[in-house]
Every structure is written in C-alpha cells, then in structure tokens.
C-alpha cells in the first residue's frame, strides 16, 4: 500500500472542530497537559489570521506547525517601526512517525508558506534544536538583537526570510 501524503495550510475559520481536536491530541503526545488544557490554550491564544499547517498521512494527522501572525518593533539607530511577522510556534510530528524524514517535508512546506506570506518568521528554541533549524536556513539571532516583550524565555531566537539588515538592529517581538 502506498502512503498518501497531503499538507494543508488553514486559517482558523477553515479548521473544523474535528481537526482542532486532532491537533490538540497530537500536541498532547509531546506536551502532556491533557487534551482539555490544549483545547483551552487553543481557544485563548489562537487568532483568526494564524496559519495552521497540517500534515496528513493516509488521512491521519501526523504533523502540525502553527505560524502565528504577530507584530514586532524594529529599532535601528534613530528609526523605530512596526512590522508584521510570523511567530513559528509548535512543530510536532507524531512519535510513531519520527525519524522518517516527515519533519523535513513539513519544514519545507512551512518555509514555502512563510515566503508566500512575504513576512519574516521568528522562533524560540533550545540549544539542542538550533542545528536542526539551521538545516532549513534559519539564522540564529544574537541575544542582544532581540527581546520577546510579552513572554519570558532564556532560550535562543532564530529568524527565517528576514530582509532586515541585522547590523545595528534590534527586534522587539510580541508573541501573545
């Protein structure tokens, strides 16, 4: 039997309740807060323009990424301006399907979606995942170059599809 792979990129109004439940169950495989807790987080934090990238294998949801459309402030010398960006939140592949190159398929799909949106993307990650994201052309940001304004984290920041010159630039990201 051949595997049928398909990927969907949907905004909130296109997501069925069934798919939202599948997303929360998939997230619960990795972050065991309970499906109800994941559903509550979803209702509280997801906005209508956020992008949900779903990876199906034979009609089963095996992967998911959330691209949250948010605002950042760019500070350069005497110039400050607001921009839209995509906060790269939640990359997950079902435990049963890891180490089979499916994350590569999903990351390639994510990259295309980010580029098509004509926005740059920012993520927060641990030191152990930096090299993974570098394989997909993400660049690490010096901790002096960014600050997350509404979330505390001592982790690392990375950007993708960034057109802003990093020299003498500081990014102030809002993720909530």
Rounded-to-integer distance, Cα 168 and Cα 75, Å? 8
Rounded-to-integer distance, Cα 8 and Cα 6, Å? 7
**Residues 64, 98: contact at Cβ < 8 Å?**
no
pLDDT above 70 (res 1): no
pLDDT tens column, 156-174: 999 999 988 777 789 999 9
pLDDT band at 24 (very low <50, low <70, confident <90, very high): very high
Rounded-to-integer distance, Cα 64 and Cα 9, Å? 10
Q: Which two tokens stand for residue 112?
A: 């295309």
This prediction has a pTM of 0.93
Q: Which of 72, 73, 76, 71 is nearest to 169 (CA)?
A: 76
Q: Is the pLDDT higher at 9 or at 32?
A: 9
* CATH architecture, range 5-173: 3-Layer(aba) Sandwich (3.40)
Q: So where are the chain's domains? A: 5-173
Beta strands in the chain (DSSP E): 5-11, 51-57, 60-76, 79-93, 121-125, 139-141, 146-148, 156-160, 169-173
In sign, the C-alpha dihedral spanning 17, 23, 26, 31 is: negative
Q: Which two tokens stand for residue 123?
A: 């993520």
Query: Average pLDDT over the chain, rounded to whole?
Result: 93
Rounded-to-integer distance, Cα 64 and Cα 135, Å? 19
């Amino acid at each position: 039997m051949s595997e049928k792979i398909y990927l969907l990129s949907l905004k909130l109004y296109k997501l069925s309740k069934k798919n939202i439940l599948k997303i929360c169950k998939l997230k619960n495989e990795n972050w065991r807060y309970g499906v109800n807790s994941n559903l509550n987080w979803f209702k509280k934090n997801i906005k209508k323009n956020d992008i949900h990238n779903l990876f199906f294998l034979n009609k089963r949801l095996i992967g998911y990424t959330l691209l949250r459309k948010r605002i950042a402030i760019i500070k350069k010398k005497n110039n400050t301006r607001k921009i839209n960006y995509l906060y790269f939140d939640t990359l997950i592949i079902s435990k049963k399907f890891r180490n089979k190159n499916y994350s590569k398929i999903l990351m390639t799909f994510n990259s295309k979606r980010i580029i098509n949106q004509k926005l740059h993307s920012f993520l927060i990650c641990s030191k152990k995942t930096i090299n993974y994201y570098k394989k997909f052309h993400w660049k690490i940001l010096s901790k002096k170059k960014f600050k997350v304004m509404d979330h505390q984290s001592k982790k690392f920041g990375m950007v993708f599809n960034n057109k802003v010159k990093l020299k003498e630039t500081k990014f102030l990201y809002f993720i909530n």
